[in-house]
Amino acid sequence: MPNPLITAAQLSQALSEQTPPVILDLRWSLTPPGGVRNGPSGRDAYLHGHIPGAVFLDLDADLCGPPGPGGRHPLPDPARLQEVLRQAGVGASSRVVCYDAGDMMSASRAWWTLLWVGLEDVVVLDGGMAAWLAADLPLTTAVPEPVPGDLTVRPGAVPVLDAAQAARTAAEGVLIDVRAAERFLGETEPIDPVAGHIPGAINVPDAPNLAEGGGFRTPDELRARYLPVGAEDDQAVGVYCGSGITATHTALAMAAAGLRVPAVYIGSWSNWIADPHRPVATRE
């Protein structure tokens, strides 16, 4: 896979091209079940100032299905997603740049979702808005009115795991739980009602993938995290998290390292525990 990341300088240059990319602002903050957002709304931040030409999409409303037994951030309805992306100006041959505030969590879910529906030229702004501002690049409050695109959504272009497939991957291949170690071990669970992990999964927390100054670590550093657990061996590799957001962040990190994109268990832990008959492990 080509490099899925773009720098702020590269995006600035792309904006001056005859056919600039479609830019999606995905700034977002988590709303725990029954709780409140852990930050201001992404739309408010967008209206306050965004990268020129960017169209705002709401991760929860536009790119995910409603929460339920399928998980807190299940796959969206394809017909609804197609309409959302067309209205944002995404066409069948579009180049799309996704960005968020800087941690690249929501941008990575958008990146993965666009790959899932068949788009091939999708990248994420490395470091997000924070990197754009650090480069002293301009913002605007003008809301664009893009020409509707002609994208036809064709789900399934990248592999997705359901609960049974995740269990099989843990038993026969490599299933990576990307949450913090204390959540994996069942010592604490700040969001979901049950703590622990899928039996047979291994824990490679996602947080160390980010460099101290922002953006992802180097490809060599990222490969050093995933090659020892068999990410490039001739076996199935899957990733999961709490609700299918951080797992796509790990998938993006692995792609940025030049590794194959793993299968994502989009329902993740929030879907796994929806069935009380599924086993839960709380030790390594």
Total number of residues shown for the chain: 284
Kind plus residue range of the DSSP H or E element containing 176: strand 174-177
Residue holding tokens 């299918």? 244
Report the alpha-carbon distance of residue 39 to residue 102 in Å, rounded.
14
Nearest of 202, 208, 204, 195 to residue 175 by alpha carbon: 202
Q: Which two tokens stand for residue 99?
A: 């960005």
Q: Is residue 159 a contact partner of residue 236, using CB atoms and an 8 Å limit?
A: no
Report the alpha-carbon distance of residue 266 to residue 272 in Å, rounded.
10
Annotation marks residue 98 as catalytic: no
Q: With DSSP H G I counted as helix, E B as strand and the rest as coil, what are the percentages for the chain, rounded to 5?
A: 35, 15, 55
**Catalytic: which of 64, 105, 115, 241?**
241
DSSP annotation of 227 reads G
Phi, psi (rounded to 5 degrees) for 221: -65, -40
Q: Which two tokens stand for residue 82?
A: 């197609």
Other C-beta atoms lying within 10 Å of the C-beta of residue 121: 13
Q: Is residue 103 a contact partner of residue 210, using CB atoms and an 8 Å limit?
A: yes
DSSP annotation of 48 reads H
Name the burial class of residue 24, with classes exposed (0-12), middle (13-18) and buried (19+) by CB atoms within 10 angstroms of its CB. buried
Q: Which residues are catalytic?
A: 241
